[in-house]
Each structure stands twice: as C-alpha cells, then as structure tokens.
C-alpha cells in the first residue's frame, strides 16, 4: 500500500470516540464509564476492579465504616 493510500484510509475512518465517564470510583479515583460495572453503597461508587480486590475486612472498615472491635 502506498504512503498516500495509508493516509487516505486513515482520513476516511470515523474518529474513535472515547467512553464517557459517568462516575469516579471513590477508592481509586478512576473513571467509571458508560457500560462499566460498579456498585453503589450508601452513595459511594466503587468500580468492579476495586470491589474484586477488597477483602471482607476492608469492605467492612473502609466502605461501610464499621470498626474492628476486640472482644473481652
């Protein structure tokens, strides 16, 4: 393919649209775009990547604002 044909094909392609950010994750501050999975807990938006990485303890303490209490 000639250099001119490469330029012409690139010019004829429609521009790539970036996904529109709808929310920002409260934990990592990354954009949650249209079509991305997320969870909302008491008004906090958490992306699926952060949710997958949280342990039950981290979820209870950081997201749900519960406190770890020592018995006795």
Per-residue model confidence as pLDDT tens for the chain (72 residues)? 677 777 777 777 777 787 889 999 999 999 999 999 999 988 889 999 999 998 989 888 877 788 888 898
Strand-pairing partners, residue 21, are: 33
Structure tokens at 41: 């807990």
Q: 19 φ, ψ to 5°?
A: -65, 145
pTM, full prediction: 0.64
In this structure, the number of other CB atoms found within 10 A of the CB of residue 40 comes to: 10
Q: How far apart are the first and last CA of the chain?
A: 78
Q: Could you give the residue ranges of the DSSP H alpha helices within 13-62?
A: 48-53, 56-58
């Amino acid at each position: 393919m000639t250099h001119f044909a490469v330029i012409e094909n690139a010019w004829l392609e429609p521009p790539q649209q970036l996904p529109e950010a709808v929310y920002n994750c409260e934990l990592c501050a990354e954009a949650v775009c249209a079509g991305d999975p997320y969870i909302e807990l008491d008004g906090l938006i958490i992306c699926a990547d952060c949710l997958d990485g949280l342990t039950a303890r981290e979820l209870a303490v950081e997201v749900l604002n519960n406190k770890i209490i020592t018995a006795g």
